[in-house]
Amino acid sequence: MSSSGARFADRVALVTGGSGGIGLAVVRRLASEGARVVAVGLHQEGADAAAEAARAAGAPDAWGAACDVADEAASEAAVAGTLSRFGRLDVVVNNAGMMLFKPLAEYTGAEWARVLGVDLMGAVHFTRLLFLHGRPGAAIVNVSSVHAAMTTPLVAPYAAAKAAMLSLTRSAAIEGRERGIRANALLPGAVDTPMLWENPNIKSGAEKIDPADVGKPEDVAAAAAFLASDEARFVTGAALAVDGGRLARL
Ligand SMILES: NC(=O)c1ccc[n+]([C@@H]2O[C@H](COP(=O)([O-])OP(=O)(O)OC[C@H]3O[C@@H](n4cnc5c(N)ncnc54)[C@H](O)[C@@H]3O)[C@@H](O)[C@H]2O)c1
């Protein structure tokens, strides 16, 4: 991958939910293009393994930070650790996410708060922190979902959080302009990760997935790397579907 050049040489990139699935693919991709990488994971072991994977992929340095992104103080500590170790923060990929599956009438307020806390507020915290500590040229990539645009039963909090993430992306893009900070969103479709195959709607057949509609984590990582790079210097406030054309079909 380094044949595409070191687009992230001297850059420091933080990826939330970096220990598996799409997040780990983003960690590897940015590392292979020269970034120093901070892999944020729920647990230290997974974060450390992702940092090791980043080094193996070519990162000059990498660090694994354990952090529940819904926890504002823990998010601040992860960024403080990044700054003390690497001295700067240039790219944030807000990828950590979770789903619950329940009929709308059965969700409790606490369950709504947990999903919104991880999927939306996690991105809010790291957006704020990049606004506080990022320099011109910094970039945010929010990993939303096709569920921001169209959805299925049982995932109301997830769909709401992913839609709100697009609104957050627009706000960050317009307020980031004067700081030289860009913000864009990705809407992955079905991607071959544990999150896809553990989805009860898919297990039960209520949501049918054509194998041709299933992408790889690396497909999303390639788009994230573009949006995070200076090649996308004139792209901000955008929402890019990476779904093999699923949203375009009736
Ligand atoms: N797989 C898909 O089909 C698909 C489709 C659209 C969008 N997405 C989105 O892509 C992102 C990555 O998902 P994935 O498919 O790789 O699934 P995944 O379950 O493999 O990855 C999610 C990651 O987020 C981490 N995470 C969960 N809660 C966290 C928390 N509170 N704090 C920190 N980390 C936390 C998990 O540990 C995991 O590493 C998610 O935001 C998901 O909504 C996935």
The reply to whether the predicted model has a pTM over 0.95 is yes
For the chain, the domains span: 2-242
Task: Kindly give the distance from the C-alpha atom of residue 49 to the centroid of ligand 1, in angstroms, as a whole number.
Answer: 17
- Summarised one tens digit per residue, pLDDT across range 78-107 is 999 999 999 999 999 999 999 999 999 999
Residue 124 scores a pLDDT above 70 = yes
For ligand 1, atom 41: residue with the closest CA: 97
Residues 140-156 pLDDT 10s: 999 999 999 999 999 99
What are the pLDDT digits (tens) for 187-216? Answer: 999 999 988 998 888 888 888 899 999 999
Whether residue 241 has its Cβ less than 6 Å from ligand 1: no
Ligand 1 lined by 232 (C-beta under 6 Å): no
Report the nearest atom of ligand 1 relative to the CA of 21: 16
Q: pLDDT tens, 40-54? A: 999 999 999 999 999
Nearest CA owner, ligand 1 atom 21: 21
- Mean pLDDT of the chain, nearest integer: 96
Rounded distance between C-alpha atoms, residue 192 and residue 95, angstroms: 15
What gap in Å lies between CA 96 and CA 113, rounded to an integer? Answer: 16
The residues that are catalytic are 158
Q: Can you say how many angstroms the Cα of residue 59 is from the centroid of all Cα atoms in its chain?
A: 19
Q: Please, which pLDDT band fits residue 8 given cuts at 50, 70 and 90?
A: very high
Helices (H) and strands (E) in the chain, counts: 9, 9
Please name the helix (run of DSSP H) or strand (run of DSSP E) that holds residue 166, with its range, or none: helix 156-176
For the domain 2-242, what is the CATH superfamily, name and number? NAD(P)-binding Rossmann-like Domain (3.40.50.720)
